[in-house]
Amino acid sequence: MATELEKFWTPARMAQALPVEEDQPLPGQAAGDRRSKAVARTSPSHTFEGIKEVGTFFWQDSDLKYRFCAGTVVPSPGKDLVLTAAHCFDSTDQRKKLVFVPKHHRSDPKPYGLFPINVGQIYADPRYLRKGGDHDYTDLDFALLKIEPRSDGKKVQDVVGAIPIGYGTGFDHPKTRVIGYPWLADDEEYKPLQDPLDCTSPMKKFTTGSSGGWKGGSFSQIDCKGYVRGTSGGPFIIGGDDPKVVGVTGGWQTGGHSDDTSYSSYFDSDLKRIYDAAVAGKKPAPIVLPAAETWKHATDIVSGYFALDGPVSDDRMDMFVMWSDGELTIYRGADKGLNYFDKEIRVQKPNKFWAEHAKHVVAGDFTGDNGSDLLVVWSDGEVTLYPSVDEKGFHGEQQIVAPNPTWKHASEVTAGRYGGNKWQDDLVVRWSDGELTVYQNTGTKLGKEIKVVNKNKLWTHAVEIGSGDYTQGDTWDLVVRWSDGELTLYDDFTGTGDTWGEHKWKAPNDLWEHAMLVTGGDFSDNPWPDDTLVRWSDGELSLYTEGNKSGIGKENTLVKP
């Protein structure tokens, strides 16, 4: 294949290649023109023959036109990875005759030969590749391609070397080199001459709000003259004699709509996850959890066994979410490599009645069938049971408590195994006056009522309660997040006697005042429900795994703020 592609990609065909199609121009700009009328303080640029680690992708698109985008060889065990911008490619992977040409330039178009790329060897974040992902996840505009050896069998890294990726290096670098291949057919200054552009300028942080359908965020910015269409995928390099590539032209508005300013998505753990997938030759796991802005609208989260089939054994719970618009969603539990959840299941579309009147949802096994049932407390004091909720939705409705003024004052509700039997069917209720009550063996009606704490001012500050088995006994434990940020575990909680102990997981602190929803469950490898989901006020979603008496466990960030 490499020999055939060598014959196909003649210098004449390379000269005919156009930049990858980019997004719509800003108002007042011509199509395909990444320039704006804004004048920035820019550094001078100059054309040169390039460096051997940086080159150009060429391919024949579905419309039979030739296209190009830039890339940088980065170190890998297989010596076969090139880093570029995700917007250069898409999920269809239909590029034909796709090759990488290191140090492509006009006087010697393929000085190190060319390296083919097979179908299925483009690695990017699945969220970016979704329809509209370039707008919704503009901070994930990076990709890696796995490259085949050239016609003599040599690998790209052995031939030209590689520049390491710099993760989490910050935004401020006074001498940052940016390389790209500009192309503007109607501009005398940027005719398609194929030589790359070189510029060294300070890199800085650019932060913007959402605008024109683009999700805002923080990006790396470099001001260099002449980085117009075609420079996509080109590297931002720091370090002089010890270089690192810390960006690629892309990100905000696929790299910016100005010939003076270029952007890059920030290189952090998101890119590392794509890199690891490319090294392993596996597509990056799809991340089904929505972005932080959406999670701000999660009004309740519970854990249970809702999905009928899944990628892990039955002892892995699923996450059930009630949203502020009344939508109900299940996220199926999965392995850590899949970000703990691998499938989104809509139980109910947005529903005005649920949005306005469903105060609390609680998951448990109230029917004793080993699946999870949903218990709902409504604004009029009614309590309703929905048996065996699963991927197919609801399977009936039973009233446990008729509308009444007492249950209007149920401020916090959770369900666990609190000394009644082997089922997760014991309710714990914290009332608005600070009273705490357990209802053991709740089913189609409320179970035995045990008053744990009489009404008092202290327990009105228990703003979140959750259930789990952190001490691995027959009786579950109660987790309380207090209004001052203190986090407390009451182990072997039964509501009776004084056998259950108190453990301070977190002393009062400002951070945990922002833990809006706290839910226990089994989401990790061991068979115990000793993990804790936390939805924070900024929309961040965290999973703390394998907690115990001493602490809540290791934090895993599922959704970044």
Residue 95: its pLDDT value, please? 61
Distance, in Å, from the CA atom of 359 to the CA atom of 381, rounded to the nearest integer, reads 9
Task: Give the residue-averaged pLDDT of 132-136.
Answer: 83
Alpha helices in 101-245 (DSSP H): 126-129, 133-136, 156-160
- The residue with greater pLDDT, 378 or 496, is 378
Q: At residue 26, does pLDDT exceed 90? A: no
**Burial letters 127-146, b for 16+ CB under 10 A, else e:** bbbeeebbbbbbbbbbbbbb
Q: At residue 30, does pLDDT exceed 50? A: no
Q: At residue 256, does pLDDT exceed 80? A: no
Confidence of residue 189 (pLDDT cuts 50, 70, 90): low
Mean model confidence pLDDT for the chain = 89
In 3D space, the residue among 535, 525, 524, 471 whose CA is nearest the CA of residue 500 turns out to be 471
Residue 473: its pLDDT value, please? 83
Confidence of residue 37 (pLDDT cuts 50, 70, 90): very low
3-state secondary structure string, 457-500?
A: CHHHHEEEEEEECCCCCCCCEEEEEECCCCEEEEECCCCCCCCC
Q: How many CB atoms lie within 10 A of CB 148?
A: 19
Give the DSSP H/E element, type plus range, for residue 7: helix 2-8
Burial of 22 (0-12, 13-18, 19+ CB in 10 A): buried
User: 297-554: same fold as 2-20+43-280?
Assistant: no
234, 248 Cβ separation under 8 angstroms: yes
Residue 307: its pLDDT value, please? 87
Residue 164: its pLDDT value, please? 98
Three-state DSSP class for 275?
A: helix
Query: Rounded to whole angstroms, what are the CA distances from 31 to 21, 28, 54?
Result: 10, 9, 28
- The residue with greater pLDDT, 236 or 94, is 236
Backbone region of residue 539 per phi and psi (left: phi > 0; alpha: psi in -120 to 50; beta: other values)? left
Q: At residue 23, does pLDDT exceed 90? A: no
Alpha helices in 243-302 (DSSP H): 269-280, 292-295
Q: How large is the C-alpha radius of gyration of the chain?
A: 28
Q: At residue 148, does pLDDT exceed 90? A: yes
Task: Give the residue-averaged pLDDT of 339-366.
Answer: 94
Task: Give the residue-averaged pLDDT of 355-380.
Answer: 95
Distance, in Å, from the CA atom of 201 to the CA atom of 264, rounded to the nearest integer, reads 14
Confidence of residue 192 (pLDDT cuts 50, 70, 90): low
Instruction: Give the percent of the chain with pLDDT over 70.
Output: 91
- Model pLDDT for residues 381-414, shown as the tens digit of each residue: 999 999 999 988 999 999 999 999 999 999 999 9
Residue ranges of domains in the chain: 2-20+43-280, 297-554
Domain range 2-20+43-280, its CATH number among 3.30.1700.10, 3.50.50.60, 2.40.10.10, 3.30.1360.200: 2.40.10.10
- The residue with greater pLDDT, 262 or 314, is 262
Cα angle for residues 502, 521, 392 (degrees, 5° grid): 150
Task: Give the residue-averaged pLDDT of 6-33.
Answer: 63
72, 248 Cβ separation under 8 angstroms: yes
- Model pLDDT for residues 284-309, shown as the tens digit of each residue: 877 789 889 999 999 999 999 998 76
15, 9 Cβ separation under 8 angstroms: no
Query: Rounded to whole angstroms, what are the CA distances from 354 to 286, 303, 463?
Result: 30, 19, 22
- Model pLDDT for residues 41-79, shown as the tens digit of each residue: 678 788 889 999 999 999 887 666 888 899 999 999 999
- The residue with greater pLDDT, 200 or 291, is 200
CA 200 to chain centre: 32
Confidence of residue 445 (pLDDT cuts 50, 70, 90): very high
Q: At residue 91, does pLDDT exceed 80? A: no
Query: Rounded to whole angstroms, what are the CA distances from 73 to 146, 159, 523?
Result: 10, 10, 38
- The residue with greater pLDDT, 211 or 548, is 548
Q: 297-554: what fold?
A: Tachylectin-2; Chain A (2.115.10)
Q: How many CA atoms are closer than 13 Å to the CA of 154, on its beta-carbon side?
A: 10
Q: At residue 474, does pLDDT exceed 70? A: yes
Task: Give the residue-averaged pLDDT of 446-461.
Answer: 95
Give the sign of the dihedral formed by CA 452, CA 455, CA 456, CA 458.
positive
Distance, in Å, from the CA atom of 190 to the CA atom of 285, rounded to the nearest integer, reads 40
Distance, in Å, from the CA atom of 267 to the CA atom of 248, rounded to the nearest integer, reads 9
Choice among 92-96, 222-226, 245-249, 269-273 with the minimum mean pLDDT: 92-96
Residue 126: its pLDDT value, please? 87
Task: Give the residue-averaged pLDDT of 438-452.
Answer: 94
Residue 193: its pLDDT value, please? 67
Three-state DSSP class for 520?
A: strand
Q: At residue 312, does pLDDT exceed 70? A: no
Distance, in Å, from the CA atom of 22 to the CA atom of 184, rounded to the nearest integer, reads 13
Confidence of residue 436 (pLDDT cuts 50, 70, 90): very high
Confidence of residue 28 (pLDDT cuts 50, 70, 90): very low
Confidence of residue 254 (pLDDT cuts 50, 70, 90): confident
Instruction: Give the percent of the chain with pLDDT over 90.
Output: 65
